[in-house]
């Protein structure tokens, strides 16, 4: 399907992947089944925009797999092989949107934008937020450059890195608990208030070239296993050791506070690292960086055991950083451990600071940003 609003000055491709924005009542609950064309038909188009739809897959995002995400990554790169495309909008479920957005951003080398959006209320409901979010996402995709992958939701523009789903049901579903929003959109205007922090982009991994959406079984592309283990009161190394025994090549330890666990868990981390497993430590606290403050199983000991701290990245995106590292260095985990650790550290830490010219909080309107196109 192609739709044009007065002139077609900007050509945007919408890649539909399912989620609440495409979900209809199934008798006992909602599930994604509306096509991308159906979803697009609910939203007005910004002036001067031509839209084309790609129906890639149609799943609730809680069922998202690495194969789905890599197929999307490949499709984004293939779409941008056409120089006539000005931007991409991905409609996606909210449950795992933060993970997909970060994966795309880690591999995004193009100045043209990729904008992810979705909905908190299902397709076709009278108070649905999907049409407004899609309109805003199209507006942003047609207006900005050099910002990487973005999340547009409820009139707010967020950088992919650090943005998480922070509300289960409210319309304002996404935020970066450790940073300000990137900008806002409304009344036919896009205001970008700061430059996002992004490490140098990774090339398209070999696994993305063959990944099939949702593929499982012996014919599926083999992908490295990356698990998430959470520490809590009475926590012990059992689940971390079980992940290693199950073949995990990477583990995200969700620690307490600024990155703390127990001496027993620190010892298990050291054993895992000695076996070639990459370990990243994040926290269950919503906001703030990790820090080497405490011993006795704290971040001091976890880092000494060979783990890397994730800065302000939380579990889902830390897992994506591990996955991208392993894909870059070899899915079997046979790459040079020192090189893999250095790459993971770069992906976790990102650049040191914002672009100085934008750190003062001055905003740029859509016209100012579009002038860079």
Binding residues for substrate, by number, are 61, 94-95
Q: Residue ranges for the binding site? A: 61, 94-95
| CA 361, 366, 367, 368 torsion-angle sign | positive
* 154, 58, 128, 28 alpha-carbon torsion, rounded to 10°: -130
The answer to whether 269 and 307 have CB atoms below 8 angstroms apart is yes
How far is Cα 345 from Cα 339, in angstroms, rounded to an integer? 10
Q: Which is the catalytic residue, given 17, 75, 91, 94?
A: 94
Residue 117 falls in the annotated catalytic set: no
Q: What is the DSSP letter of 20?
A: G
Residue 4 falls in the annotated catalytic set: no
Relative to beta strand 308-309, strand 164-165 is unpaired
Helices (H), the chain: 36-41, 66-80, 97-106, 130-141, 238-245, 263-274, 299-304, 315-329, 337-349, 366-370
SS3 label, residue 106: helix
Burial class (CB in 10 A: 0-12, 13-18, 19+), 275: exposed
For residue 120 the two structure tokens come to 């908190």
Burial class (CB in 10 A: 0-12, 13-18, 19+), 106: buried
* 105, 38, 28, 96 alpha-carbon torsion, rounded to 10°: 0
Phi and psi angles of residue 240, each rounded to the nearest 5 degrees, phi first: -65, -45
SS3 label, residue 162: coil
- What are the catalytic residues? 20, 94
């Amino acid at each position: 399907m192609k739709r044009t609003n007065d002139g077609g000055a900007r050509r945007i491709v919408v890649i539909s992947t399912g989620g609440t924005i495409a979900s209809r009542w199934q008798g006992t609950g909602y599930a994604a089944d509306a096509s991308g064309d159906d979803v697009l038909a609910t939203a007005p188009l910004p002036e001067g925009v031509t839209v084309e739809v790609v129906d890639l897959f149609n799943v609730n995002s809680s069922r998202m797999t690495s194969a789905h995400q890599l197929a999307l990554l490949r499709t984004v790169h293939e779409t941008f092989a056409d120089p006539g495309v000005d931007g991409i909008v991905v409609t996606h479920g909210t449950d795992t949107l933060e993970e997909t957005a970060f994966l795309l951003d880690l591999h995004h080398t193009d100045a043209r934008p990729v904008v992810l959006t979705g909905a908190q209320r299902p397709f076709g409901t009278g108070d649905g937020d999907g049409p407004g979010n899609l309109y805003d996402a199209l507006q942003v995709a047609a207006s900005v450059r050099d910002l990487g992958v973005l999340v547009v939701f409820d009139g707010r523009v967020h950088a992919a890195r650090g943005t998480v789903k922070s509300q289960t049901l409210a319309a304002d579903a996404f935020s970066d608990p450790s940073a300000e929003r990137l900008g806002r959109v409304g009344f036919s205007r896009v205001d970008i208030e700061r430059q996002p922090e992004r490490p140098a982009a990774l090339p398209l991994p070999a696994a993305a070239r063959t990944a099939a959406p949702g593929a499982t079984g012996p014919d599926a592309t083999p992908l490295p296993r990356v698990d998430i283990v959470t520490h809590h009161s009475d926590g012990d190394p059992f689940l971390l050791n079980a992940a290693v025994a199950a073949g995990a090549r990477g583990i995200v330890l969700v620690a307490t506070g600024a990155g703390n666990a127990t001496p027993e868990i620190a010892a298990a981390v050291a054993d895992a690292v000695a076996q070639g497993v990459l370990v990243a430590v994040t926290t269950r606290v919503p906001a703030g960086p990790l820090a080497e403050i405490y011993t006795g199983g704290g971040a001091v000991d976890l880092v000494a055991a060979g783990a890397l701290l994730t800065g302000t990245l939380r579990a889902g995106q830390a897992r994506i950083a591990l996955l991208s590292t392993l894909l870059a260095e070899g899915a079997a985990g046979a790459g040079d451990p020192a090189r893999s650790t250095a790459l993971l550290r770069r992906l976790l830490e990102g650049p040191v600071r914002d672009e100085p010219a934008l750190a003062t909080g001055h905003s740029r309107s859509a016209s100012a940003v579009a002038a860079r196109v």
